Amino acid sequence: MKKIILGLISVITLAVLAGCNQNDENTLVVGVVAPPMSTIIEINKEAFEALGYKLEIKTFNDYDIVNRALNDGEIDLNFSQHELFMAAFNANFDGTLVKIQGIYTTPNFLYSRTIETIDDIKEDTIIGVPREPINLNRALRFLKQLNLITFDKTDEENVGLNDVVKLKEFVLEPFELTALPLAWPDIDMAVMYPSFGQRANLTIEDDTIAVEESILPKYDISIVGREDNKDSQIVLDFIEIITSDRTKQFLFDNFGSTYRVVYEDN
């Protein structure tokens, strides 16, 4: 009798494990940090699951952590970054992350409610910029376009705060990217993406005085996976669903022409 019971337990255990494996093959777990990336996945969830899959969306509060989760296999994809940030993670953490599909690009804006023009910036004006090296590099290049600073770096080199020479006096203050909207009441200006400006209840029409020009493809916000899953059918099907007119329409309805998709509609 004991052997029979043990045999039944073994059969049941194998069946459960087999069922779990089968479910895992049809489940895609995508990591996100902030809107609009998270919202884009949510509005496409029903269409993706109509193909017979299950979609799980996991929210993280840190951009490096969502990359570690992907690299360690805790999630299957993430949608939170551009190619430069991904490449920096791979270099620093021996990662195997790969860009699978660019989804959209957007410029940085210089936000302010108290200063109307660049000429109005004074020595006690506080301009907030992202602290992370990749986003800081981009923000500083934007400020150079505005003739607020200069530096002696090539297009391929990273620019840091120590490289900056101010062309007029003001206070340059770095913040964590996600903390910039929270810091807004205590600063005069900030270099931010529109989605972060929205979190501070700022609008492009009323609260910006300059826009970044000449955005390179390496700044496309992209779906990122790993070398071992980039060509799997479930990932290919997910990309086909995400790169749809639904995503394009959502971005236009919520952000106008400032968010531009970088794919052809499926």
CATH number, position 37: 3.40.190.10
The better pLDDT of the pair 238, 84 is held by 238
Q: Alpha-carbon distance 109 to 197, whole Å?
A: 9
Distance between CA atoms of residues 266 and 259, nearest Å: 18
Q: Are 62 and 84 in a shared domain?
A: yes
Q: At what angle do helices 83-93 and 133-145 cross, to 10 degrees?
A: 140
Domain match, 206 and 235 both? no
Integer Cα distance of 114 and 117 in angstroms: 10
Whether 241 and 168 share a structural domain: no
Q: Are residues 141 and 192 in the same domain?
A: yes
Per-chain mean pLDDT for the chain: 89
From residue 120, alpha-carbon distances to 17, 82, 124 in Å are: 66, 33, 11
Establish if 146 belongs to a structural domain: yes
Does residue 266 fall inside a structural domain? no
73: left (phi over 0), alpha (psi -120 to 50) or beta: left
Are both 223 and 207 inside the same structural domain?
no
Q: Based on the domain organization, do 94 and 141 belong to the same domain? A: no
Count the neighbouring beta carbons within 10 Å of the beta carbon of residue 43.
16
pLDDT tens-digit profile of 171-204?
999 999 889 999 999 999 999 998 899 899 999 9
Q: Would the pTM of this model clear 0.85, i.e. be above it?
A: no
